Structure 1
Amino acid sequence: MRTETVRPTGAADGTRDQRLPLGALAALATAAFITIMTEALPAGVLPSMGRSLRVGESAMGQSVTIYAIGSAVTAIPLSAATSGWRRRRLLLTAVAGFALANTVTAVSGHYALTMAARFVAGVAAGLVWAMLTGYARRMASGPLQGKATAIAMAGATLALSLGVPAGTLLGQAFGWRIAFWSMTVLAIVLLAWIALAVPDYPGQPRGGRAPIAQTLRLPGVAPVLIVTMAFVLAHNILYTYIATFLDRLHMADAVDLVLFIFGLASVVSIWVVGAHIDRRLRFLTISGTILFALAATVLAVLADSAVAVYAAGTLWGLGFGGAATLLQTAAADAAGTSADTAQAILVTLWNTAIAAGGVVGGLLLDNLGPASFPWSVLVLLAPALVMVITARRHGFPSGRLGASA
């Protein structure tokens, strides 16, 4: 994405720079990359991790769940407790948490210790996600805050599309511990990058953080959060059990290809969202929801065709890839000066939906079979689409000029 001439907030002294600070935003994108890589990496090396720690794959799979739980249960209280911290100090602390947690995971020979490290990593992720959007928005002028957010969030999409497959290959070739060591090295490099290139901003004064109940009463905040919960839950039911769903279609060997197609389409999605979010947030959110619903419909009624499955993967990626940027931007716009509190709530709901996706998907699998997954996506997306369409004045307004963070 090219550098544009804007008037973003500069360093901590409030001066104005003449360009969108791509180096600083890329550092935030790398932080997002690390959070997703650390979360999803066990899925790619699950059998070897389980053998090393002498537990079954099901037990080892809970290392992903406990990461999500760590984020969900600590995002709100920790972001409130650290609201007065300067932003760069807080970001450095969170990234240092990743370095520590991934190092412990890489050297641990005990399941309990590994799970504790995974919980700590989830806590660090909760801090990063709760501050990432607000940090990015403070680097840009109002009309380009959405684009700044899209650049910062691009790291998450790249992690899903390219990072996780690469990490899996690295783990398979050299051992799963090397894969986690690589995350430690990246985190250490990022610490230096943040210290040198990312501008610092003050936190909120004591008592300046908006209470949760007050934030939820702001027009538009609740609709955005409801859409977030439905959208992310729908995605994670399908994503968590995509291998099981494809195995039913005798496409077990195509799981990597389907996810690769999904990942590439997600990269396209985040690029499109980044280019247009500052003027067309509502249109993009409606379009993304419809594209995801079309993907689920294809999987529900045309899944006997491999070509249709690949087409569905493309539609799915196009619909979901920019969702994090759209929803976090919508929440920040709706919350205004209470944006940090809204982001913490959104992070909690997002990670709750990740954890719930495995549980709900498991119940669907046991009671209705894998064919129920795409239908469950449609059941969740239908009210989400209605909510987006009806929240025309607040939440997902027709016109978006960008608000100061």
Structure 2
Amino acid sequence: MGTHSVPATPAPPEAERAPAGGWPAVAAVAAVSFVLVLSEFLPVGLLPSISHGLQVDTGTAGLVVVVPGLAAAIAAPLLTMAARRLDRRHVLLALAALIAVSDALAASASGLAVMVGARLLLGLAVGGFWAMGAGVGGRLVPPASVGRATALITAGISGGTVISLPLGSLIGHVADWRAAFVVAALAALLTLVVLGLALPSLRPTGAVRAAALGSVLRRPPVALTLLIAAVVFFGHFTAYTYITPYLQQRAHFGPGTVTAVLLGYGLAGLTGNFLAGLSSRSPRRVLVVAALILAAAVVLLTRVHDEPAVVGLVLGWGAAFGAVPAAAQTRVMDLAGQDTDAALALLVTASQTFLALGSFTGGLLTDHAGTTAAFALGGSAVLLSVLVPAGHRRVRG
């Protein structure tokens, strides 16, 4: 062995250091996104059972989907600003715990008021997580892997959709609807433990203030993307919230067939999310194409009665919407630069506000004119979102 000294290896620049957490932490955040969406949309497959159990109309029972959306829309920017100096690890753990509390409270709800209160708590978790958790993938893996990390986290959306509808439909058929919320609460507790073990400390990247939100909104490309996402969410949830009554009453599917179709919808959504991740270099184009397919599928469902056609259109609908959240989030993050947290908070506000408005509008139409009317309006609204960019270019020209 030589006696000469070996020069010390210089510390790598901050940008080149391996981020803490890595893929286990990304997977843990993705698991929370999965349970969050599972909890948010679990009632969609249970609306008939919930309305019967709480002794309210189907449209009124739709409040269990409306309330989380409204709460999330308000909570996203407020929680982002309130938590601007807090370690993101602590914030995300608190939000994950809130999911478990909400599901447990929903499982024990004796009336609509308690159920709405439980869903209000979930809305706080939805708003906070999508504003502050959906974008942390870029802080957990090297820069070259950011796109895959973001796609994995947003895949939780499609994964939750895969499970929520068929799980709700199946449990509602073989047991009481409350059992579905018990399952969701247990899943939330499990993800809370996993997140606590895997997620490292994540100091806030900067203070998010009201001025930053206004600055992001004043950028036309960002504002346009938010508008497109809002209209797509409105149209989608005007119809989607009432897909179970549609399949039962309009398509005349039995419980087993409904569960199978909803599972197919969710699996198609996973495929759409995967394809959107592969096309991350052109998220605007993905968003427009997905909206066109979604609009066509929902409108055609008001006209067809043949079982294979209905199933095919539902699968196409699932694939199209599966691409929307990932494409919208990628597009907004690309445009926002250093204001990612502010932009994501605004995306949550826009999407969740119009999610709630869509569910509420679809409920009114379902109660007074049937699910066909809700589907017709929903599909037309999504088609309108495709015309927004064209109209914007014409005005600018």
Report the TM-score range of the alignment, normalised by the length of the smaller protein.
Answer: 0.7 to 0.9
Residue aligning to 1:193: 194
1:150 aligned partner, one-letter code: A
Distance in structure 2 (CA, Å) of the matches to 1:99 and 1:361: 28
Q: How many Å apart are 1:151 and its aligned residue? A: 0.4
Residues 166 and 260, structure 2, Cα contact 8 Å, conserved in 1: no
Q: How many Å apart are 1:52 and its aligned residue? A: 5.7
Report matched runs for 1:38-53 at 5 Å: 38-46=39-47, 49=50
Q: How many Å apart are 1:284 and its aligned residue? A: 2.2
- 1:83-139 CA-to-partner distances (Å, cap 9, x unmatched) read 221111110010111122222333344543332222112111111111122212223
- 1:19-75 CA-to-partner distances (Å, cap 9, x unmatched) read 993322221111111212212223444455556656665554422222222212222
Residue aligning to 1:298: 300
Distance in structure 2 (CA, Å) of the matches to 1:19 and 1:306: 50
Question: Does residue 256 of structure 2 align to residue 263 of structure 1?
Answer: no
Q: Among all aligned residue pairs of Structure 1 and Structure 2, give the percentage whose two residues are the same amino acid.
A: 29
1:103 aligned partner, one-letter code: A
Residues 300 and 374, structure 1, Cα contact 8 Å, conserved in 2: yes
Residue aligning to 2:279: 276
Residues 289 and 385, structure 1, Cα contact 8 Å, conserved in 2: yes
Instruction: Give the match's secondary structure for 1:220.
Output: helix
Instruction: Give the match's secondary structure for 2:297.
Output: helix
2:71 aligned partner, one-letter code: G
Structure 1 unpaired stretches of 5+? 1-12, 393-405
Change beyond 3 A, Cα 1:265–1:219: same
- Greater C-alpha Rg: 2
Distance in structure 1 (CA, Å) of the matches to 2:391 and 2:48: 46
Change beyond 3 A, Cα 1:42–1:372: closer
Name the TM-score, length of structure 2 as normaliser: 0.83
Distance in structure 1 (CA, Å) of the matches to 2:327 and 2:117: 32
Residue aligning to 1:213: 214
Distance in structure 2 (CA, Å) of the matches to 1:58 and 1:285: 29
Q: Which shifted more, 135-144 or 223-232?
A: 135-144
Instruction: Give the match's secondary structure for 1:321.
Output: helix
Aligned pairs, how many? 378
Give the superposed CA RMSD. Answer: 3.0
Q: How many Å apart are 1:271 and its aligned residue? A: 1.6
2:306 aligned partner, one-letter code: S
Change beyond 3 A, Cα 1:95–1:380: same
Change beyond 3 A, Cα 1:387–1:96: same
Report matched runs for 1:80-159 at 5 Å: 80-159=81-160
Change beyond 3 A, Cα 1:356–1:141: same
1:294 aligned partner, one-letter code: A
2:328 aligned partner, one-letter code: L
Residues 210 and 341, structure 1, Cα contact 8 Å, conserved in 2: no
1:290 aligned partner, one-letter code: L
Residues 286 and 385, structure 1, Cα contact 8 Å, conserved in 2: yes
Q: How many Å apart are 1:18 and its aligned residue? A: 8.7
Structure 2 unpaired stretches of 5+? 1-13
Instruction: Give the match's secondary structure for 1:270.
Output: helix
Q: Which shifted more, 53-62 or 161-170?
A: 53-62
2:259 aligned partner, one-letter code: D
Change beyond 3 A, Cα 1:373–1:262: same
Change beyond 3 A, Cα 1:246–1:137: same
